């Protein structure tokens, strides 16, 4: 009986040892699994941080694009408002030219045409005043150095009394609208 008891005791001890070994194995397995999970988690965190950085960069680019778009839009609207009357003024300039031609006519002081001419001069001055009010300025050309930005050379002539590349005659006046040339002056240039 003692042997049975010893056998039982030994069996129990062996079972306990096996159970302890199993527990140790399970703990090691759990530890390995936890380490794998931690490694996976570290990788996931790095991946998520990378994605966050990418999204931040996309957001910053989109925000910069929006700011640039607003600036471009504001500049375009400002330019449109600044030169909104350009087409109308370009259509009025030939009328101004015709008034100047009518004023240039030689009329005797006592005739009815002289009174008519005085009326034309008043209308001309009014029209010119309105154009100046909206930023239209005449380009000075006569006896000035030729500038292709403001003058269009129609003919050339040689005059030894004047400097080279000076405007000798203005065939048609040029005009600017708020510093933008809307019609260059047609001129004759000294060569």
For every residue of 104-133, DSSP letters joined together read HS---TTSHHHHHHHHHHHHHHHHHHHHHH
Q: Quick count: other Cβ atoms within 10 Å of Cβ 92?
A: 16
Predicted model pTM: 0.59
* Residue 20 structure tokens: 């302890």
Positive or negative torsion for Cα 130, 132, 133, 135: positive
- Helix (H) or strand (E) holding 190, with range, is strand 185-190
- For the chain, 191 residues long, give each residue's pLDDT as a single digit of tens: 556 666 667 677 777 777 777 776 676 666 666 666 666 677 888 888 999 999 999 999 999 999 999 999 999 998 888 888 888 888 888 988 888 888 887 777 667 787 888 888 899 999 999 999 989 999 999 889 999 999 999 998 887 888 888 999 999 999 999 889 999 999 999 88
Tokens of 171: 């065939």
Q: How far apart are CA 177 and CA 37, in angstroms?
A: 74
């Amino acid at each position: 009986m003692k042997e049975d008891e010893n056998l039982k005791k030994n069996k129990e001890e062996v079972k306990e040892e096996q159970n302890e070994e199993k527990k140790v194995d399970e703990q090691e397995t759990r530890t390995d699994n936890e380490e794998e999970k931690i490694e996976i988690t570290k990788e996931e965190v790095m991946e998520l941080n990378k994605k966050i950085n990418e999204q931040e960069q996309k957001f910053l680019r989109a925000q910069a694009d929006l700011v640039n778009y607003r600036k471009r839009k504001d500049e375009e609207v400002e330019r449109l408002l600044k030169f909104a009357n350009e087409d109308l003024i370009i259509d009025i300039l030939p009328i101004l030219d015709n008034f100047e031609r009518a004023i240039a006519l030689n009329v005797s002081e006592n005739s009815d045409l002289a009174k008519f001419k005085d009326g034309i001069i008043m209308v001309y001055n009014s029209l010119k005043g309105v154009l100046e009010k909206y930023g239209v300025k005449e380009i000075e050309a006569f006896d000035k150095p030729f500038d292709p930005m403001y003058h269009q050379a129609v003919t050339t002539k040689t005059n030894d009394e004047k400097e080279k590349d000076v405007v000798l005659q203005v065939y048609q006046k040029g005009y600017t609208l708020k510093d933008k040339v809307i019609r260059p002056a047609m001129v004759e240039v000294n060569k």
